[in-house]
Amino acid sequence: MAGLGELESRVMAALWDAGGPRTVRAVHTTLAAERPLAYTTVMTVLDNLHGKGWVRRERAGRAWVYTPARAREEAGAEMLRDMLDSLGDPRGVLLHFARGMDEGESEFLRRALSRERDGT
């Protein structure tokens, strides 16, 4: 899965935060509150995200409504996996990452891995 550009990331965040299908107009309204942005730009970005498999779309009358193709956490994990695969030494990268985790993150990961091994 390809990474996202800055505007693509903002569009995806708006869709994830919305919690349901959104039209181009609704996404544009959300993003335009942050900074001026052309409606056609948002429409093009959503079309590109659909082509890349990041969003699904359905017709609702004359408009398309868009929803994320996967949860934010799943997309983040896929992006991390792609990055690890591209770096040549995934174990080394993970080790450096783990060393930078705070105690709460480390404990969460230990518990999650323990549950996974136990099948719970």
Q: Whole-angstrom Cα distance, residue 98 to residue 103?
A: 10
| Higher per-residue pLDDT: 117 or 36 | 36
Structural domain of residue 87, as residue ranges? 72-118
Position 57 in a domain: yes
Q: Whole-angstrom Cα distance, residue 112 to residue 118?
A: 10
For the full predicted model, state whether its pTM sits above 0.85. no
Owner of token pair 């969460």: 108
Please tell me whether residues 31 and 77 are part of one structural domain: no
Question: CB-based burial of residue 89 (10 Å sphere; 0-12 exposed, 13-18 middle, 19+ buried)?
Answer: exposed
Position 1 in a domain: no
**pLDDT grade for 86, boundaries at 50, 70 and 90:** confident
Mean pLDDT of 57-82: 93
User: What percent of the chain shows pLDDT beyond 90?
Assistant: 67
Residue-wise DSSP of 77-120: HHHHHHHHHHHS-HHHHHHHHHHT--HHHHHHHHHHHHHHHHT-
19-58 confidence digits (pLDDT tens):
999 999 999 999 999 999 999 999 999 999 999 999 999 9
- The count of structural domains within the chain is 2
Please tell me whether residues 16 and 47 are part of one structural domain: yes
- Side by side, the strands of the sheet bearing 55-60 are 22-23, 63-68, 55-60
Whole-number Cα distances in Å, 33 to 30, 41, 63: 6, 15, 22
Please tell me whether residues 10 and 57 are part of one structural domain: yes
**pLDDT grade for 1, boundaries at 50, 70 and 90:** very low
Please tell me whether residues 54 and 12 are part of one structural domain: yes
Position 29 in a domain: yes
Backbone angles phi, psi at 97, to 5 degrees: -65, -45
